[in-house]
């Protein structure tokens, strides 16, 4: 197993969370409303019909959470700041919330006091509802870019003297495709009128992705110009994407796996940010629905990340001939031609274990982009864990096996393959509000009894705490 001697000396090891998934207290401390507040209350938007009003009550129990981190002995903690807690209405001319700023300032101070490095995400999906109501949020480039830059400025100015690792935005693909294409995440816009009364899945996801990337790039430009020279931190974006491999050795399925990578990895964010152009297959499929950056915007977008922020969970076998544009017209499966499964099935239909794929993806990304990789999310949801008695749930052997396999191949990627990997954040510190799954899916290394909010360390938390 990896040890402190085999990993790089400055390697950042820890757990990750997101504000809306853990904080609760949605109407406390001057916080404004986010797009997830009302969306999660709509019928059939979450699997269990529950919302994020309480979550894991971490806005009130934050010292307890830091004590957990100290118990696990982590070196770093990735968490997100709630935009509507900092600027309740969200806009560049709207007032800030001193109580919200003080909350995160105290939280950061407590982390540092306990020897834990804060690794901060500015935006993890909780857009202020005020901006969505005012002009459509991510759909309006000229407005959202200015408002995100102003929000970023407040955070850099308030916390940047202590925060040296910044992520601008979490998973642009999920924001755009799940929020404005499939309509399963807030704000839930889609062409499917059984799901949403408004939205256009053929155009809006690509408009949103374009505006998200430009907002990210402008925030990075601000940081580099005005804050990085004195604060000395680094800044980037974190991008989701899983490994895709051919279902078999047929030419059409080999092509399908690459096409899936073009959509899942190169796609809307990665190639523009790191290479300065879109992949050809993406342009071929989307045609004139893909917004183009101006020459001035390309100059801002290209190179707008100091590292590759990597959120990944699984590997998919790929077949040609799918009908889902959001997967590049490729079918995904975990079932091999001989009928066996790729790995152990998780609670989520989209997730199985397969550490070999994790190593392949680390190598693919490093070869393609030649930039340090920070693994910012990686985790597993045990099947039926929410229905287990606590004493059984905390003995989460399948999650331990997931982390063991991925940590072993990550070490091999560093020591044998020469991949420059600088962090690993396991998802997640706590069981929490898992977006459209509500509380029916548990990714935590700590079991949360949602009735009492008592925390119980799982076997996986104890395991990961030794792998550092």
Query: Two tokens at 300?
Result: 């801002």
Catalytic residue among 297, 377, 385, 434: 377
Q: Measuring CA to CA, how many Å separate 467 from each of 6, 66, 231? A: 10, 19, 31
Closest CA to 463 of 374, 394, 379, 403: 403
Write down the residue that tokens 């590292």 correspond to: 307
Report the distance separating Cα 367 and Cα 371, nearest Å: 9
Edge-to-edge order in the sheet of strand 330-333: 243-246, 315-320, 330-333
Write down the residue that tokens 């950042």 correspond to: 12
Q: What is the 3-state secondary structure (H, E, C) of 261-330?
A: HHHHHHHHHHHHHHCCCCCHHHHHHHHHHCCCCCHHHHHHHCCCCCCEEEECCCEEEEEECCCCHHHCCE
Closest CA to 19 of 456, 455, 429: 429
Report the distance separating Cα 202 and Cα 289, nearest Å: 7
Query: Two tokens at 343?
Result: 């790995």
Catalytic annotation on 171?
A: yes
Closest CA to 445 of 468, 463, 424: 463
Report the distance separating Cα 287 and Cα 291, nearest Å: 9
Catalytic residue among 171, 204, 297, 385: 171
Query: Two tokens at 118?
Result: 């804060």
Strand bridging mode 243-246 / 234-240: unpaired
Catalytic annotation on 204?
A: no
SS3 (DSSP) at 443: coil
In 10 A of CB 268, how many CB atoms? 26
Q: Measuring CA to CA, how many Å separate 448 from each of 79, 82, 272, 282? A: 18, 22, 40, 41
- Annotated catalytic residues are 171, 377
């Amino acid at each position: 197993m990896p040890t402190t001697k085999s990993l790089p000396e400055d390697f950042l090891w820890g757990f990750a969370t997101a504000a809306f998934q853990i904080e609760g207290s949605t109407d406390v401390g001057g916080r404004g409303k986010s797009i997830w507040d009302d969306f999660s209350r709509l019928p059939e938007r979450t699997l269990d019909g529950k919302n994020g009003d309480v979550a894991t009550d971490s806005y009130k129990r934050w010292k307890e959470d830091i004590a957990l981190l100290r118990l696990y002995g982590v070196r770093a903690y990735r968490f997100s700041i709630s935009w509507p807690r900092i600027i309740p209405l969200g806009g560049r001319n709207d007032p800030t919330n001193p109580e919200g700023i003080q909350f995160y300032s105290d939280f950061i101070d407590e982390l540092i006091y306990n020897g834990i490095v804060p690794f901060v995400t500015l935006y993890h999906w909780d857009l202020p509802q005020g901006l969505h109501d005012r002009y459509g949020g991510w759909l309006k480039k000229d407005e959202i870019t200015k408002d995100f830059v102003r929000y970023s400025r407040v955070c850099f100015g308030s916390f940047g003297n202590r925060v040296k690792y910044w992520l601008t935005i979490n998973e642009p693909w999920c924001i755009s495709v799940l929020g404005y294409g499939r309509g399963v995440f807030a704000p839930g816009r889609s062409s499917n009128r059984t799901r949403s009364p408004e939205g256009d899945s053929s155009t809006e996801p690509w408009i949103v992705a374009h505006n998200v990337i430009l907002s990210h790039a402008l925030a990075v430009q601000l940081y580099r110009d005005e804050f990085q020279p004195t604060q000395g931190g680094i800044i980037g974006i974190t991008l989701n994407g899983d490994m895709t491999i051919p279902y078999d050795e047929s030419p059409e399925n080999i092509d399908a796996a690459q096409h899936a990578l073009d959509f899942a990895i190169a796609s809307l964010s990665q190639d523009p940010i790191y290479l300065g152009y879109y992949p050809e297959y993406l342009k071929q499929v989307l045609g004139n629905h893909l917004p183009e950056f101006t020459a001035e915007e390309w100059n801002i977008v290209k190179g707008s990340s100091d590292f590759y922020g990597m959120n990944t969970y699984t590997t998919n076998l790929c077949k040609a001939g799918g009908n889902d544009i959001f997967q590049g017209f490729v079918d995904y499966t975990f079932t091999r031609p001989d009928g066996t499964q790729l790995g152990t099935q998780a609670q989520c239909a989209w997730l199985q274990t397969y550490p070999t794929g994790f190593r392949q993806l680390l190598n693919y990304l490093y070869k393609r982009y030649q930039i340090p990789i920070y693994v910012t999310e990686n985790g597993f949801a045990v099947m039926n864990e929410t229905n287990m008695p606590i004493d059984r749930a905390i003995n989460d052997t399948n999650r331990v096996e997931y982390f063991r396999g991925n940590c072993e191949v990550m070490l091999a990627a560093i020591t044998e393959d020469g991949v420059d990997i600088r962090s690993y954040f396991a998802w997640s510190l706590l069981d929490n509000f898992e977006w459209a799954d509500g509380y029916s899916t548990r990714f935590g290394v700590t079991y949360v009894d949602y009735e009492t909010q008592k925390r119980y360390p799982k076997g996986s938390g104890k395991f990961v705490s030794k792998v550092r």
